[in-house]
């Protein structure tokens, strides 16, 4: 992101006052020194990751918040509606590979998904069963399509070295699991929330650059030096102008010079300029951009500490909405996606679901639902257990 606010030292032409006397003006002001058009981040993975995740605190926190929350939800491997902790698929999901914990693996999976709209997982097969799972960077993956236009293989390229993962034509098994977010104009690749919020990210980053430039200018707006011609001359000579400009640049610019008094002589007078309504509106625009970024990711602004947002009555309601509207749909989609993929090795009876009963953020809501269910008089205990998602008595 380029700094489009630069300090410009200008020497204004002579102007005639109402009295007819000459009033030369030397002004130090903010000017637009860049091109006429705005600078926008390119819509590619590298640029979005750099400008969004690495240089924008709001987008960074949104992705971290979603990834960490979603990764904390346990996945339950079910066989005939019973959760099987000892199932080989369950052990694989608990420890995806020797180098990463379960939380690290799924944080990377969800992080890539929200950065690029795509997330890829490679399965390492030992004795005809997946023995380990590894996340792959989405910007290194390229689809190889067949005559129907759908991927028949995936190429993974690193430092000029390419590895191809082919789909088994007989069984339909593939070592690559691809999960994507819906893209309205693309058949294979997904659409990143960060791409939808790219312009808001640029506005927010530009606001940070603007604030930094203001701090470097002693944390106050520019002003003007007015030369009144006390020495008898009507304007500054080139030598006087150069000396004055050099002194202002060296002694009165930057955050370290904040509050330093300006010594004036020879008919010079300092006229401070107040911050314009446009400058003040730019600060508000940065706050609105932060809210727009949070909206694109489905994170309530209240959870990010963004001021001025009263959508929810309190933090508890905002957190509950975040889990219900953002995290749970994402985890359910992931569980269903992994279940369909791993069923090629573990059998069609494999089902993977989110273990929603073990989510602390939903504990109070779940307790209220059970109390209401227990108060129902027209249902038997067995019917209530089924309604609550519990196994029947005597079934382990």
**Tens-binned pLDDT, residue by residue, of the chain (396 aa):** 433 333 344 444 444 444 444 444 444 444 444 444 556 777 888 888 999 999 999 999 999 999 999 999 999 998 876 778 889 999 999 999 999 999 999 999 999 999 999 999 999 999 989 999 999 999 999 999 988 888 999 999 999 999 999 998 888 899 999 999 999 999 999 999 999 999 999 988 888 887 777 666 655 555 666 666 655 555 667 777 777 777 766 665 554 554 555 555 556 666 665 555 555 566 788 888 999 999 999 999 988 888 766 666 788 888 989 999 999 999 999 999 999 999 999 988 889 999 888 888 887 777 777 778 777 888 887 777 777 766 666 554
Among 341, 330, 343, 349, CA closest to 106: 330
- Give the integer Cα–Cα distance in Å for 112 and 105: 11
CB 160 within 8 A of CB 151: no
- Give the integer Cα–Cα distance in Å for 375 and 137: 51
Among 75, 95, 143, CA closest to 339: 75
- Cβ neighbour number for residue 117 with a 10 Å cutoff: 24
Burial class of 220 by CB neighbour count within 10 A (0 to 12, 13 to 18, 19+): middle
- Helix (H) or strand (E) run with residue 352 in it: strand 351-354
- Give the integer Cα–Cα distance in Å for 151 and 168: 12
State the Cα angle at 273 between 267 and 278, rounded to 5°: 160
CB 297 within 8 A of CB 322: no
CA distance between the termini of the chain: 58
- Give the integer Cα–Cα distance in Å for 148 and 225: 71
Burial class of 227 by CB neighbour count within 10 A (0 to 12, 13 to 18, 19+): buried
346 contact partners, CB below 8 Å, separation of at least 6: 87, 88, 89, 129
Among 212, 229, 224, CA closest to 262: 224
Tell how far CA 333 is from the center of its chain: 21
């Amino acid at each position: 992101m380029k700094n489009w606010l630069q300090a410009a030292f200008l020497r204004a032409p002579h102007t005639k006052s109402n009295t007819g006397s000459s009033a030369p003006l030397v002004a130090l002001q903010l000017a637009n020194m860049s091109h006429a058009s705005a600078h926008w981040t390119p819509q590619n993975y590298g640029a979005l990751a750099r400008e969004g995740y690495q240089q924008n605190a709001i987008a960074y926190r949104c992705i971290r918040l979603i990834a960490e929350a979603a990764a904390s939800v346990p996945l339950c491997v079910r066989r005939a509606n019973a959760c099987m902790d000892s199932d080989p698929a369950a052990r694989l999901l608990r420890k995806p590979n020797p180098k990463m914990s379960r939380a690290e693996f799924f944080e990377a999976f969800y992080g890539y998904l929200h950065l690029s709209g795509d997330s890829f997982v490679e399965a390492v097969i030992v004795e005809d069963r997946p023995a380990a799972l590894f996340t792959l960077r989405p910007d290194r993956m390229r689809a190889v399509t067949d005559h129907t236009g759908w991927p028949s293989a995936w190429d993974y390229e690193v430092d000029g070295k390419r590895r191809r993962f082919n789909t088994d034509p007989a069984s339909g098994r593939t070592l690559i699991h691809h999960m994507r977010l819906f893209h309205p104009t693309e058949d294979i690749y997904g659409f990143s929330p960060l791409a939808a919020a790219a312009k808001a990210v640029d506005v927010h980053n530009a606001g940070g650059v603007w604030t930094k430039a203001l701090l470097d200018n002693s944390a106050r707006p520019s002003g003007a030096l007015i030369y009144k011609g006390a020495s008898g001359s009507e304007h500054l000579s080139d030598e006087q102008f150069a000396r004055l400009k050099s002194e202002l640049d060296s002694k009165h610019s930057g955050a370290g010079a904040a509050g330093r008094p300006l010594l004036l002589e020879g008919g010079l007078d300092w006229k401070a300029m107040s911050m314009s309504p446009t400058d003040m509106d730019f600060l508000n625009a940065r706050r609105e951009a932060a809210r727009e970024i949070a909206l694109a990711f489905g994170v309530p602004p209240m959870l990010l500490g963004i001021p001025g947002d009263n959508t929810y009555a309190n933090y508890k309601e905002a957190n509950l909405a975040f889990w219900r509207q953002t995290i749970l749909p994402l985890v359910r989609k992931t569980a269903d996606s992994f279940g369909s993929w791993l069923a090629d090795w573990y059998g069609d009876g494999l089902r993977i679901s989110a273990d929603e009963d073990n989510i602390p953020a939903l504990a109070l809501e779940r307790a209220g639902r059970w109390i209401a269910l227990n108060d129902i008089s027209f249902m038997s205990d067995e019917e209530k257990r089924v309604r609550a998602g519990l196994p029947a008595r005597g079934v382990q």
